[in-house]
Amino acid sequence: MSGELLLFPPSASTAATHLDRLMLALTLLMSTVIIIVGALLVVFCIRYRRGARMPRANAPSRSRRIELIWSTGPLLVFLGIYAWAAHDFLELARVPADAMPVFVVAKQWMWKLEHANGRREISELHVPVGRPVRLTMTSQDVIHSFYVPAFRIKQDVVPGRYTTLWFEATQTGEYDLFCAEYCGTQHSLMRGRIVVMSPADFAAWLDRGTQQPSMAQRGFALFRSYGCDGCHGANSSVHAPKLDGVAGRTVALADGRNITADDTYLRDSILLPARDVVAGYAPIMPSYAGQIDEADLMAIIRYLHEGAAAQGDEDEQRH
Amino acid sequence: MSNGTERVTEADNYLAAGTTLRSWLTTHDHKRIALLYMISITAFFFIGGAAAVLMRFELATPAGDLVSHDTYNKLFTMHGVIMVWMFLIPSIPAGLGNFLMPMMIGARDLAFPRLNLLSWYLYVGGGLFTVVALIAGGADTGWTFYAPFSTLFSNTHVIFVLFGVFVVGFSSILTGINFIVTVHMLRAPGLTWFRLPLFVWANYATSIILVLATPVLAMTLLLLAAERLLGVGIFDPALGGDPLLFQHLFWFYSHPAVYIMVLPAMGVVSEIVPCFARKRVYGYRSMAYAILAIAIIGFMVWGHHMFVSGQSAYASLLFSLLSFLVAIPSAIKVFNWLATLKGGSIEFAAPMLYALGFIGLFTLGGLTGLILASLSADVHLTDTYFVVAHFHYIMVGGAVMAYLGGVHFWWPKIIGRTYPEMWGRIAALIAFFGFNLTFFPQFLLGYAGMPRRYHVYPERYQLLHVLSSAGASILAIGYLLPLGYLTWSLFRGPRASSNPWRATGLEWTTSSPPPPHNFAQTPIVTEEAYAYDSSADPKESRA
């Protein structure tokens, strides 16, 4: 038999450092509480056991002051814990602007990952140490969850929408990647590894993948082959929104709302074009639902992010 | 309080009111229906437990060497579905509550006796149907039925299981309605709301949850069936649906359902602790208000199951805050039980051991619940064994310990015979030890990243899994022992007096087992509940 008590599991990201600090505090606090509760329980049980000679007359059965103390005391402590954890959580929700993008498509029972330069991996992710990495994720079938215990991060990967997760590895090495949301027969085999490399090693590793076109280049090719440029291209005679620099911009919709053209919006506009029509345009675009697979959709969206630059420049994403 | 030792002749009690199978299956007596419930609940408990034992055997090694992936997935689904809907939810309310609610308020029966019998038929019919579906075919969705896996991807008998659970839900709703009406309409003269035993308060609050939340489960299951059978796009994005919608609907029921399981357990403990400490429960009013607060706030925290689901971060901030708030009334209850012990005259009979075990295990379960309510910690811990450990501390360490405590406490009243006290104490201690050995290592597993619902796992987790499996076999002994000696007591146990624990409460003023209509004449209540006096208590142990 192998294994250990695992009291101090590997910790290899900035988030892990923060969480371990919080957990240490919580563990100390809660051990104190459980010890006090347990000790009081045992002490009362021994002191006031039947037959023990103890004064028992007039034992109080209520005291507003004491009850007020033990209601508001925990409340204050709880609010403190809440604020600490919420602060760390918002940090996890705020993706650094310079994060290196990686694209993840989950399916039963594997992870397909693609770097911006077009290098692909299966159930394995190479990343550089000390640099924020942003994962844009979706699922081809059921809900999965991207979980790296050593980084203390997890995000469900949901079909029909993009979810994002970011991390910054602090230690080189290999770490487990688990699917944490039950997804069918081989859920427990939907595992992989995260390989954290030094920046130089990572650059060398990534370079070995430059034979293939970058994601944005592939996206541009798809943009043309699906005929998107027939309407959205610069020379088109069709009255359709021009897409240069659309990604991340605020878009005014026909129904008066304003919406940020994030990746989910771009995805929906391709698959469900009638849902959020841009102000000033007729809802004439056909739906591409069921025609483009998730990896290709991500490539097209990547192209929309990088725009004209992607049409020639291969080096763009390796800034 | 009377310390009567009068014996009743067999013909005068509800057990002797009819001995044929037909007399049992057509009874309208809440006490007999309670027994029907307790027998069926016990059967379901051991079926669900057998699934757990198989899982723990499988998990003793990292490889999948005992059962296949699909079988394992069906086992944890079976365990969850049976334990939640066929055992935990009906256990205390429909079993003990059915017996005690009318007796504690001095009534002859529940408000709607025939509806009560219908509840049991729905429960046992739906339950048997589900169990047959789970054993003969099986479903591999987990008890949570997450879409779109459950609607379009699982190739197992999901529809049958959904149908069974759907039917059982109606039994919950009917029991809830029955209890609410009974408490409002049938209290004995003088029994004002703030003279009610806390067990009645707890089951009353639980009934409100049952009535308000269970219909949402029924609708959700219908929507699942509509998508699975008819291809109506509700949850699957491929059909234009939203998978998070399912989670919101499901947890809108299933989080309050946690309180359906634990509030009645708190009610049981609030009866046992004052009796064996011979002392009025500390802070009675705040205990009652805490029960109501838990029931109400419990409806507003469901999103804490969804912090990593893709739900808005702002929603998560609110759900986290509300989850911390719902812990306050729980903390108040723990402090009040402790304060009840102080100055008491404590006797360590088996029910008290179970109740003390409940207080410790519930406290640890509650504290680790706070860790899970902490947003950044939940990101790491959700869907790992930490969650499994946490909710088993609440549901097994809490609800099952309290249920067993209650069964021992009221056994002499229900059956009219006493159980072997020493065996009861031994079983309580074994269950407490086995429980901790089973589930404490799972906290460590979870923090080290072991995901739940994993059939095979990396080798480094093995040691903790082996400890957990070893604990499970001890826990199993702790549960089989009462099955043995209580069954023995059913036939051979010494006759019990009407009030062997010298407890307060109207149920103890009538004979054991009670006459068919509970009380010779309607009792009149003139004092608050828990009129115990530890200073006046004789030092010698009970007769």
A160 near B CB under 8 A:
yes
Q: How confident is the model at residue B1 (pLDDT cuts 50, 70, 90)?
A: very low
Give yes or no for a contact between B93 and B259, defined as CB atoms under 8 angstroms apart: no
Contact B383 A180 (CB under 8 A): yes
Mean pLDDT of B169-178: 97
Cα separation, B254 vs B213, whole angstroms = 8
pLDDT of res. B10? 43
Asked if the model's pLDDT at residue B190 lies above 60, the reply is: yes
* Number of neighbouring beta carbons within 10 Å of residue A295: 18
Mean pLDDT of A90-110: 95
User: CB burial class (10 A; 0-12, 13-18, 19+) of residue B162?
Assistant: buried
Contact B154 A184 (CB under 8 A): yes
What are the structure tokens assigned to B302, written together? 């469901």
pLDDT of res. B541? 43
Candidates A7, A152, A159; nearest CB to B243 = A159
**B-chain residues near A160 (CB < 8 A):** 237-238, 242-243
User: What is the sign, positive or negative, of the torsion defined by CA atoms of B145, B151, B155, B160?
Assistant: positive
Asked if the model's pLDDT at residue B540 lies above 90, the reply is: no
Cα separation, A48 vs B338, whole angstroms = 12
Give yes or no for a contact between A165 and A98, defined as CB atoms under 8 angstroms apart: no
Biggest alpha carbon–alpha carbon distance for chain B: 72
* Domain range annotation of chain B: 29-533
Q: Higher pLDDT residue, B40 or A275?
A: B40
Give yes or no for a contact between A254 and A279, defined as CB atoms under 8 angstroms apart: yes
Tally of residues, chain A: 319
- Please state, in angstroms and as integers, the Cα–Cα distance from residue B449 to each residue in A173, B69, B440, following that order: 17, 20, 15
In the chain, the amino acid numbered B422 is M
A211 near B CB under 8 A:
no
User: What is the sign, positive or negative, of the torsion defined by CA atoms of B283, B289, B295, B296?
Assistant: negative
What are the structure tokens assigned to A185, written together? 């027969």
pLDDT digits (tens, 9 = 90+) for B234-290: 999 888 899 999 999 999 999 999 999 999 999 999 999 999 999 999 999 999 999
Determine the distance in angstroms separating the CA of A14 from the nearest CA of chain B, rounded to an integer.
13
What DSSP letter does each residue of A129-195 carry, written as one string?
A: TTSEEEEEEEESSS-EEEEEGGGTEEEEE-BTS-EEEEEEB-S-EEEEEEE-S--STTGGG-EEEEE
Cα separation, A284 vs A307, whole angstroms = 23
SS3 content of chain B, % helix, strand, coil (to 5): 70, 0, 30
pLDDT of res. A237? 84
Contact B69 A78 (CB under 8 A): no
Helices B243-277 and B198-230: crossing angle in degrees, nearest 10, is 160
Contact B368 A61 (CB under 8 A): no
Cα separation, B472 vs B377, whole angstroms = 27
Q: Tell me the residues of chain A between 267 and 286 that have a Cβ less than 8 Å away from chain B.
A: 272
**A-chain residues near B370 (CB < 8 A):** 26, 30, 78, 81
Query: Which residues are paired to A193 by β-bridges?
Result: A124, A176
pLDDT digits (tens, 9 = 90+) for B343-379: 999 999 999 999 999 999 999 999 999 999 999 999 9
Q: How confident is the model at residue A11 (pLDDT cuts 50, 70, 90)?
A: very high
Contact B444 A7 (CB under 8 A): yes
Asked if the model's pLDDT at residue A239 lies above 90, the reply is: no
Tally of residues, chain B: 543
pLDDT of res. B5? 44
Q: Higher pLDDT residue, A242 or B483?
A: B483
Biggest alpha carbon–alpha carbon distance for chain A: 99
> What percent of chain B stands above pLDDT 70?
97
Cα separation, B56 vs B66, whole angstroms = 11
Asked if the model's pLDDT at residue B6 lies above 50, the reply is: no
What are the structure tokens assigned to B435, written together? 């429980």
Angle at B15 between CA B10 and CA B17, to 5 degrees: 75
Determine the distance in angstroms separating the CA of A267 from the nearest CA of chain B, rounded to an integer.
13
Q: Which residues, other chains included, contact B533 with Cβ-Cβ below 8 Å and sequence gap of 6+?
A: B278, B279
Phi-psi region of A163 (alpha: psi -120 to 50; beta: other; left: phi over 0): beta
Determine the distance in angstroms separating the CA of A315 from the nearest CA of chain B, rounded to an integer.
33
What are the structure tokens assigned to B244, written together? 């998070």
What are the structure tokens assigned to B479, written together? 């549960």
Q: Which of A78, A90, A162 to mutate to test the interface with B (most CBs of B within 10 A)?
A: A78
Asked if the model's pLDDT at residue A5 lies above 90, the reply is: no
Asked if the model's pLDDT at residue B477 lies above 80, the reply is: yes
Query: Which residues are paired to A259 by β-bridges?
Result: A251
Q: How confident is the model at residue A313 (pLDDT cuts 50, 70, 90)?
A: very low
Map residue B78 onto helix, strand or coil: helix
A86 near B CB under 8 A:
yes
B215 near A CB under 8 A:
no
SS3 content of chain A, % helix, strand, coil (to 5): 40, 25, 40
Contact B382 A142 (CB under 8 A): no
Helical residues (DSSP H) of B298-400, grouped into ranges:
313-341, 350-373, 375-381, 385-392
Contact B339 A51 (CB under 8 A): no
Determine the distance in angstroms separating the CA of B307 from the nearest CA of chain A, rounded to an integer.
9
Q: Tell me the residues of chain B between 335 and 374 that have a Cβ less than 8 Å away from chain A.
A: 335-336, 338-339, 341-348, 356, 359-360, 363-364, 367-368, 370-371, 373-374
Q: How confident is the model at residue A210 (pLDDT cuts 50, 70, 90)?
A: low
Q: Which residues, other chains included, contact A85 with Cβ-Cβ below 8 Å and sequence gap of 6+?
A: A22, B320, B374, B375, B376, B377
pLDDT of res. A4? 78
Asked if the model's pLDDT at residue A224 lies above 80, the reply is: yes
Determine the distance in angstroms separating the CA of A239 from the nearest CA of chain B, rounded to an integer.
27
* Rounded (10°) CA dihedral B443, B447, B452, B454: -110
Nearest to A77 by CA among B53, B327, B427: B327
* Domain range annotation of chain A: 11-37+66-210, 215-314
- Please state, in angstroms and as integers, the Cα–Cα distance from residue A71 to each residue in A49, A64, A78, B144, B286, following that order: 28, 10, 11, 34, 10
pLDDT of res. B542? 43
Angle at B81 between CA B78 and CA B82, to 5 degrees: 80
* Number of neighbouring beta carbons within 10 Å of residue B541: 9
Helices B30-58 and B462-492: crossing angle in degrees, nearest 10, is 150
Asked if omega into B113 is within 30° of 0 (cis), the reply is no
The secondary structure of residue B398, as a DSSP letter, is: I
A188 near B CB under 8 A:
yes
In the chain, the amino acid numbered B201 is W
pLDDT digits (tens, 9 = 90+) for A133-180: 999 999 999 999 999 999 999 999 999 999 999 999 999 999 999 999
Map residue A292 onto helix, strand or coil: coil
B46 near A CB under 8 A:
no
Contact A33 B363 (CB under 8 A): yes
What are the structure tokens assigned to B18, written together? 């009819």
pLDDT of res. B244? 96
Q: Tell me the residues of chain A between 98 and 117 that have a Cβ less than 8 Å away from chain B.
A: 108
Cα separation, B10 vs B29, whole angstroms = 17
> Considering the entire predicted model, what is its pTM?
0.94
Give yes or no for a contact between A175 and A129, defined as CB atoms under 8 angstroms apart: no
> What percent of chain A stands above pLDDT 70?
95
> Across the beta sheet with A120-122, what order do the strands follow?
A120-122, A110-115, A100-107, A132-139, A163-168
Contact B447 A38 (CB under 8 A): no
pLDDT digits (tens, 9 = 90+) for A16-68: 999 999 999 999 999 999 999 999 999 999 999 998 888 887 777 778 888 89
**A-chain residues near B320 (CB < 8 A):** 82, 85-86, 89
A62 near B CB under 8 A:
yes
Residue of B nearest to A4 (CA): B463
Q: Number of residue pairs across A and B with CB atoms under 8 Å?
A: 285
Nearest to B93 by CA among B187, B14, B165, B199: B199
Query: For the domain A215-314, what is the CATH superfamily, name and number?
Result: Cytochrome c-like domain (1.10.760.10)
Candidates A9, A70, A179; nearest CB to B447 = A9
B458 near A CB under 8 A:
yes
Q: Which of B153, B279, B308, B314 to mutate to test the interface with A (most CBs of A within 10 A)?
A: B308
Q: Tell me the residues of chain B between 132 and 151 that have a Cβ less than 8 Å away from chain A.
A: 140, 142, 146, 148-149
pLDDT digits (tens, 9 = 90+) for B267-276: 999 999 999 9
Asked if the model's pLDDT at residue B491 lies above 70, the reply is: yes
Q: Which of A82, A161, A183, A271 to mutate to test the interface with B (most CBs of B within 10 A)?
A: A82
Nearest to A276 by CA among A260, A292, A289, A288: A260
**A-chain residues near B55 (CB < 8 A):** none
Q: Higher pLDDT residue, B102 or A210?
A: B102
pLDDT digits (tens, 9 = 90+) for B299-333: 999 999 999 999 999 999 999 999 999 999 999 99
A56 near B CB under 8 A:
yes
A41 near B CB under 8 A:
yes
pLDDT of res. A308? 59
Asked if the model's pLDDT at residue B424 lies above 60, the reply is: yes
Q: What is the pLDDT of chain B when averaged over all its residues? A: 94
B67 near A CB under 8 A:
no
Q: How confident is the model at residue A316 (pLDDT cuts 50, 70, 90)?
A: very low
B380 near A CB under 8 A:
yes
Cα separation, B534 vs A174, whole angstroms = 63
Query: For the domain A11-37+66-210, what is the CATH superfamily, name and number?
Result: Cupredoxins -  blue copper proteins (2.60.40.420)
pLDDT of res. A29? 96
> Across the beta sheet with A144-148, what order do the strands follow?
A124-128, A191-197, A173-179, A144-148, A153-157
Residue of B nearest to A182 (CA): B453
**B-chain residues near A12 (CB < 8 A):** none
B116 near A CB under 8 A:
no
Cα separation, B382 vs A316, whole angstroms = 38
Determine the distance in angstroms separating the CA of B401 from the nearest CA of chain A, rounded to an integer.
17
Rg (CA), chain A: 27
ipTM of the complex: 0.92
Helical residues (DSSP H) of B59-157, grouped into ranges:
69-81, 89-90, 98-104, 113-132
Give yes or no for a contact between B209 and B295, defined as CB atoms under 8 angstroms apart: yes
pLDDT of res. A317? 42
A161 near B CB under 8 A:
yes
Fold of B29-533: Cytochrome C Oxidase; Chain A (1.20.210)
Determine the distance in angstroms separating the CA of B113 from the nearest CA of chain A, rounded to an integer.
37
Nearest to B55 by CA among B481, B457, B477: B457
* Rounded (10°) CA dihedral A125, A130, A131, A135: 40
pLDDT of res. A51? 86
What are the structure tokens assigned to A93, written together? 């929700």
B222 near A CB under 8 A:
no
Contact A50 B360 (CB under 8 A): no
